[in-house]
Structures are given as C-alpha cells and as structure tokens.
Amino acid sequence: MAKRFFLRFGIIFIGILFLVSCAPVATTVGTTPTPAPISTATVVQSIENSTATPIPEVTVGVVEVDLLNIREGPGTNYPIWGSLANGEKFYILGEVVNSTNNKWLLISPTPDSFGWVIGDQTYVTVQKEIVDLSTYLIWQKNVNTAKSVLIALTPTPQ
C-alpha cells in the first residue's frame, strides 16, 4: 500500500513539475515603464503654439420669402423702414413674442442699424454661423445694445 501511495505521489509530483516548467516566466517583477522626461521648454512651446482659441459664432437669419419687411417694432402695426430679399442673411440680436403671440426677431441688417422681422420659420431660417473676430465683436456690441431695447419693450408688472 505504501508503494501505491509513493507511486501516485510521484506521478502527481512529476505532473505538477511539468506544468510549472511550461508556464511563462516573468522577466521583470513589479516594474512599471517610466515615461521619457519632458522638458519645461517643450511644454511652454506647445502651449504657445496651441490653436485652441474659441471660434466666434453668431446667430443669423436667412430670408425664405421673396421680400421680408423690416419694421420699426415687433408687429405689423409698426412702420416698414426697409426690406430684405430671398436668400439674404442678417444678424439676429434677440427675439420677443408680441401681444398677438407672434415671434419677432430683433435684427441688425447692417452694422449699427436695427429693425424687426417676423420670426416664423416659413419666412426666416435661423442658423449659427462662424465669422471672423471683427464681425463677431460688432455682433456682440449690437447684442448688448439690443438687450436695452428688449428690456424697454418688456412691460413692467403692475
């Protein structure tokens, strides 16, 4: 019986030895690759050459009808002071819903001029457009001026 025990033990031992010898061997233990050092000059240079500047984007409208009237106020009861033809673009500075529940857009058809057009999508398509910095600054100045116009049009609660 002891002979059988040693025979089984020997076979198991040889099997384990065989399995261990077939296992892959680690060449390094517990080492982590270290990244190559980056000089401060390289970091500064990459920041200076960065092109991550914000892209100036404005809201524009495109006329979808043959002729779009520009009015002095947000409603058809205001006088017409100009018009835009089909396909013409204009800068949108703000919007308001008037007493007849129609959306009107405060626009700047040219720098330093303001007017109102109907905001219905059958008349105007509203979209974002990327522009150069000087155009963006003019648009932004007009938006700030338009805020005072929109505030003046907002009725005070009684």
Average pLDDT over residues 96-117: 87
Q: What is the pLDDT of residues 52-103, one digit of tens each?
A: 566 788 899 999 999 999 999 899 999 999 999 999 999 998 889 888 889 9
Identity at 143, one-letter amino acid code: V
Whole-number average pLDDT of the chain: 74
| Residue 35 pLDDT | 53
Query: Please, are residues 62 and 89 in contact by the beta-carbon 8 Å criterion?
Result: yes
Q: How confident is the model at residue 150 (pLDDT cuts 50, 70, 90)?
A: low
Collapse the DSSP code of 108 into the 3-class scheme (helix H, G, I; strand E, B; otherwise coil) and give the result: strand
Q: Any residues with CB less than 8 A from the CB of 24 and at least 6 apart, and which?
A: none
Query: Please, are residues 92 and 34 in contact by the beta-carbon 8 Å criterion?
Result: no
Q: What is the pLDDT of residues 27-52, one digit of tens each?
A: 555 555 555 555 555 444 544 555 55
Judge if pTM exceeds 0.75.
no
| Residue 112 pLDDT | 72
At CA 128, angle to CA 124 and CA 134, rounded to 5? 115
| Residue 29 pLDDT | 54
| Residue 58 pLDDT | 87
Q: What's the CATH number of domain 57-153, 2.30.30.40, 1.10.10.10, 3.90.660.10, 2.40.110.10?
A: 2.30.30.40
